[in-house]
Structure 1
Amino acid sequence: MYQEERLEFIIDFLKKHNRISVEQICSLLDVSRDTARRDLVRLEKEKKIVRTRGGAILPSVHNEVKNYTNRLHTVTAEKKMIGNKAASLIYPGDRVILDTSTTVQACAEQIENMECTIITNSINQAEVLSSKPEIDIQLLGGKLQKEHRFLYGSTVIEKLSEYYVDKVFIGVVGISENGLTIAHEEDGLVKRKMIQQAKQVIVLADHTKLGNTDFFRFADLRDIDLLITDTTPQKEFRELLRKNNVELLTADFEEGEE
C-alpha cells in the first residue's frame, strides 16, 4: 500500500473512531512502527491530526460564527417558529429584555403592537420594533460591536442594573450540561447581567444548539426558567433540563414529555 493510501485510511479511521494508536496502524496496515510514525508525522505537518502519546486524534473543529447580517440570511423556519412562540408570551404592560441573537430577532418581528416596554442592546431589535408605535423601546448605549451589531461594555452593564423586568429572552450558541455558552465574551457578559435583572429567563434555541458547548459560559442551566426549541429533545437532554428545573416548550406545540 502506498503512503497516500495509508494516510487516507488513517484519516477515515479517525473520523469513525476519534483516535488511533501506532499499534493499530501497524496491525491494520501491516507496517512497521517506524512507518506508522512517519505517516503520523506527515499528517501532523499537514495539520490533519494532533499527535498524542502513542497515536493521534483529529484536531478540534470550531464553527465560525458568521456576522449578524449573514446569520439573518440563514434564519430558518425553525427559528421563526421559536420566535413566534416566544412573542406569544409577551403581554400588554410587560417589561422585557431582548438580547442580540437572530432567533430573538425572529421574536421581535412577531411581537404584537401593544403597550409594553422593550429593553435591548441590539440595534437590529430596536429597528424592527420602531415600526410598532405602541411599544416603548429602551436602547442601551455602549460600544458598538460592528460585525455582530450589538452594544456592549461597562456602560451597558451599569444601565442594565437599573432595570428590573418581567422577562428576558436570550439566544445561545450552545446549551448543554456545561451551561449556556456564546462565542464572544463581551456579548456573554451583557447576557449574564440581563439574566440577573429578570423575573423569568427564557432561552430560545433551535435543535442545532442543544448539547453543544461554545467558547464562553455566561450562565448555568439552573439560571433558566424556560427553554423554547423547535423539536422535542432526546430523553437524556430532557432529563438534564428536569434536574435543573428548566421547563421545556416546543414551538410545534408538543409538550416535550415522554
Structure 2
Amino acid sequence: MTMKKQERQDQIILLLNRTGFMTSKALAKQIGVTPMTIRRDISELSQQNKLIKIYGGAKSLNNSMTVEFSTSQKMKINIDLKQEIGQKLADIIEDGSTVYLGAGTTLLYSLPFLVKKKLTFVTNSFISFSKLATSGTDCRVLSTGGELHKNTGEFLGQIAERTFDGLNLDYALCSTNGIRDNDVTTSSEDEGRIQNVAINHATKALIVADHTKLGRSDMITFRNLNTFDGLVTDNEISAELRKEYSAYTKVW
C-alpha cells in the first residue's frame, strides 16, 4: 500500500525528531520511496518551517540535541558555512602561531585555509592529524594520543589531556554542538574537558560555530561564552543573534 503524502511527511518529522539528522538517501530507504520524493518533501517541509533543510538531507527543529552525530554525518552539513568560517579564522590568526585544533568538522573544513599560515598545530583530532600529515605543507603537527573515540574521530581522556603539560599555545580553536545564551555545550564531559585543558594553555580562545548552532544546546555545558575571546561564525547570523551574542564576547 502506497503511503499518502501527509503520512510520509509526518514520518519524516518523526524520524528526524528521533535522530536529529538524516540524509535524503537514508530517509528514502526507511520510508520506502525514492530519494527524489524525499527531497521534494524536505523542500516543502522546510518552507513550512517544520524542519531544517541541509546539504544532503535534513535535521530536526528541536533545540536540544539527542545524539552525537558521527564525523562523517557532520561533514555533510553546512559545508559552505564551515568554509566561510575557515577563511575568517585564517584572517584572524597570525602567521607562525601555535594553535590547538579541536575535533569539530567546522575546523576540519578550515584546514585548507589555515595551512597557508605556516602554523604549528596541536590536535586531538585523528582526522585533522591525518589530513595535516598528508597536506604537502611544511606545517608542524603534534597529535595528543589517548583513547580514540571512533564516532567523532578524536583522542580523549587523561593521556590526551597530559599532552598539554608544558605547552604554550597562541590560540585554542574550539568546537561546540550548540550555544544557548552564555552556555557553550557538547555531548560529553570528556569532549569538553580536553578543550578546557587546551584553553588553559592558550593566550586566546576562539569558539567556532555556524549560525544554525546558535540558540541550540547539547547535554553538557563545558564553558561559558563570555570566557572566550571571540565567537567565529558565518555571515548568515541574524542581526538579533549577533547583538545577543556580542553581549558575551566579540563576534566575527
TM-score norm. by structure 1 comes to 0.67
Q: Which has the higher contact order (CA 8 A, sep 6+)?
A: 2
Once the two structures are superposed, what CA deviation does each residue of 1:95-125 show, in whole Å capped at 9, x if it has no partner? 1000000001111132234532100000111
In structure 1, list runs of 5 or more residues that go unmatched. 1-58, 250-258
CA spacing shift, 1:238–1:70, aligned 2, 3 Å: closer
How far has the Cα of 1:85 moved from its partner?
A: 1.4
- Choose 1 or 2 for highest CA Rg: 1
- Please tell me whether residue 197 in structure 1 is matched to residue 201 in structure 2: yes
- Please tell me whether residue 209 in structure 1 is matched to residue 213 in structure 2: yes
Residue matched to 2:104: 101
Alignment of 1:212-227 (within 5 A): 212-227=216-231
Residue matched to 2:56: none
1:147 match: secondary structure: coil
In structure 2, list runs of 5 or more residues that go unmatched. 1-61
**Residues 65 and 217 in structure 2, CA contact (< 8 A), matched pair in contact too:** no
How far has the Cα of 1:89 moved from its partner?
A: 2.5
How far has the Cα of 1:181 moved from its partner?
A: 0.2
Q: State the superposition RMSD in angstroms.
A: 2.1
Residue matched to 2:143: 139
How far has the Cα of 1:165 moved from its partner?
A: 0.8
2:161 to 138, 141, 157: 157
Q: Which amino acid aligns with 2:251?
A: L
TM-score norm. by structure 2 comes to 0.69
Worse-matched range after superposition: 79-88 or 109-118: 109-118
Identical aligned pairs, as a percentage? 25
CA spacing shift, 1:119–1:174, aligned 2, 3 Å: same
- Please tell me whether residue 242 in structure 1 is matched to residue 252 in structure 2: no
How far has the Cα of 1:168 moved from its partner?
A: 1.3
Once the two structures are superposed, what CA deviation does each residue of 1:54-113 show, in whole Å capped at 9, x if it has no partner? xxxxx9964433211222233521111111211233332211000000001111132234
**Structure 2 CA distance for aligned equivalents of residues 124 and 75 of structure 1:** 19
Alignment of 1:54-69 (within 5 A): 62-69=65-72
**Structure 1 CA distance for aligned equivalents of residues 64 and 226 of structure 2:** 28
